[in-house]
Structure formats: C-alpha cells, structure tokens
Amino acid sequence: MSFETHDARERTKEIQAEFAARGDALGWFDALYNEANGDNEKIPWADLEPNKFLRRWAQKTDLQGNNRRALVIGCGLGDDARFLYDAGFSVTAFDISPTAIRWARELHSATGIEFLAADLFDAPPEWFRAFEFVLEVYTIQPLPLAMRPRVIDAISDFVAPEGRLVVVTRGREDDEEPLELPWALSRRDLSQFELNDLKLISFEEMLGDEEEPIKRFVVEYER
Ligand SMILES: C[S@@+](CC[C@H](N)C(=O)[O-])C[C@H]1O[C@@H](n2cnc3c(N)ncnc32)[C@H](O)[C@@H]1O
C-alpha cells in the first residue's frame, strides 16, 4: 500500500469516527468527498476504474445489458455505473453524497447515465421493485453493523420481479469479528437477502492482490 493510500485510509477513519461520536452514521461520506476537493487519491475506494471483482464476474458470466434498467447503489464516482452503461444497460446511479454525484456527473458527462443524490433509506417510491439489475459494491460494509439488516432490506426493495441483484463486498467468516471499518460481511449477514424473497444464484469468493490478500464475495440473487 502506498503512503498516500495509507494516509487516505487513516483520514477516512478519523472523519468517520468524528461523525459517529455525534451519532451521525452517514454524514461523513459527503465530508470526505468534500475534503478531497477533486483529488480521488484522498478517497480510499475511488480508483477511477470499475471494480475488478465485478469485472471478473461480468466476464465469466458474459454480462450483457440489452437495455435492461439498472440501479447502482452508493455509486461514488460512478465507474461501476459506467461499466454497466458500456455493457448496454440503461443506468440510474445514486449516492448520498451530493459532492460525489457532482463529481461523477463531470467524469461521465459523455454518457446517458442518470446520476442522482439520494439516500438509500429514503429513496423515490417509484424505485420500489423497479430495476431489472441492481448493483451494490462496498456500500453495506462502511455502514454500522446495527444498521445492516435495514440496509439489506432497503437494497432488496429495488429489485424487480425476476430481476437480478449483484453484491460485491469484503467477506469474513461467520465466527470472525468485524473489528474495523470497513466491516466485512459474513454469509450469515448476506442470508438476510434471502429473507427478502431473493434467491441465491451464485456465490463466489475472490482474493484481492493486496500484500495480505483481502477476501471479497461476489453474490448474485434473483427475485
Ligand atoms: C465505500 S464507498 C463505495 C463507493 C462505490 N460503490 C465504489 O465501490 O467505489 C460507499 C458509498 O456509499 C455511499 N453511501 C453511504 N450511505 C449511503 C446511503 N444511505 N444512501 C446512498 N449512498 C450511501 C457513500 O457516499 C459512498 O460513496
């Protein structure tokens, strides 16, 4: 890990802790994007590339959009939304941070992606079960564990009948304690999706190329 990445991670943890101490679990995201002031290296997850685990999964499954309606949850700077757009989806992407959304719009201005500032917990009612493909990458893991079931319920609500949901997340064993941000998900955490009428289609475990490889889960569901 470079010094810059290390510093960005430490600063991210500081900002998250400052907001958490005030009982605010969500405000730190926009504060971090704001403080970065256009420098993506200040945002630990923003590498201006589509997620490589998503890419691997998409290649393996030969993902084709065919104009299907996709929703990208917590899209950040929009590179995964762009990836789906390039694969032929009609894409709506949202994030709670208005700063991230302005930034994403600038980066992807040449596309027809609809970028919106919105809160997962207070989304437009017309999004209920409206999307044929829903993508969630790393939005569950930085939210407090106590909120996890609510986050999973809210994400599930966007998936249309017969629609698909793909979740890309850090993974941990059921008996492992999630000790620090980002709080990895276990299979037991993920089983909450199945309580929301979503059927598990595939579950893949992949290792990152970090010095100490970090485990990711790529999980696909169908309603
Ligand atoms: C760890 S980042 C991942 C961003 C992006 N998915 C990626 O992989 O680059 C989590 C994102 O979720 C957004 N987020 C957090 N809580 C949210 C909520 N309640 N509603 C919508 N977006 C949220 C944050 O602003 C942040 O951009």
Q: Is 29 in the pocket of ligand 1 (CB under 6 A)?
A: yes
Q: Is 217 in the pocket of ligand 1 (CB under 6 A)?
A: no
The yes-or-no verdict on residue 135 having pLDDT over 80 is yes
pLDDT at position 76: 98
- The number of angstroms, rounded, from the C-alpha of 128 to the middle of its chain's C-alpha atoms is 18
pTM: 0.97
* 24 CB-near residues (< 8 Å, 6+ apart): none
Q: Is 100 in the pocket of ligand 1 (CB under 6 A)?
A: yes
The yes-or-no verdict on residue 1 having pLDDT over 60 is no
Q: Is 53 in the pocket of ligand 1 (CB under 6 A)?
A: no
Closest residue to atom 4 of ligand 1, CA basis: 76
Q: Is 192 in the pocket of ligand 1 (CB under 6 A)?
A: no
The yes-or-no verdict on residue 202 having pLDDT over 80 is yes
| Ligand 1 atom having least distance to the Cα of 141 | 1
C-alpha 45 – ligand 1 centre gap (Å)? 10
Mean confidence (pLDDT) of the chain: 96
Chain segment 32-61, per-residue pLDDT in tens = 999 999 999 999 999 999 999 999 999 999
Give the CA angle between residues 164, 165, 169 to the nearest 5°. 155
Q: What is residue 130's DSSP assignment? A: -
Closest residue to atom 10 of ligand 1, CA basis: 139
Neighbours of 195 (CB within 10 A): 11
Q: Is 138 in the pocket of ligand 1 (CB under 6 A)?
A: yes
The yes-or-no verdict on residue 5 having pLDDT over 80 is no
The yes-or-no verdict on residue 113 having pLDDT over 70 is yes
Q: Is 51 in the pocket of ligand 1 (CB under 6 A)?
A: yes
| Ligand 1 atom having least distance to the Cα of 137 | 6
| Mean pLDDT (whole number) for 189-203 | 97
Q: Ligand 1 pocket test: pick from 48, 83, 96 the residue with the most ligand atoms within 8 Å of its Cβ.
A: 96
Q: Is 49 in the pocket of ligand 1 (CB under 6 A)?
A: no
| Mean pLDDT (whole number) for 161-168 | 98
pLDDT at position 179: 87
pLDDT at position 156: 98
The yes-or-no verdict on residue 155 having pLDDT over 90 is yes
Share of the chain above pLDDT 70, in %: 98
Q: Which of 182, 1, 174 is nearest to 74 (CA)?
A: 182
**Hey, where are the domains in the chain?**
48-222
pLDDT-based confidence at residue 2 (cuts at 50, 70, 90): low
Q: What is the CATH number of domain 48-222?
A: 3.40.50.150
Give the CA angle between residues 57, 162, 189 to the nearest 5°. 60
| Mean pLDDT (whole number) for 158-177 | 97
- 90 phi/psi in degrees, rounded to 5: -95, 115
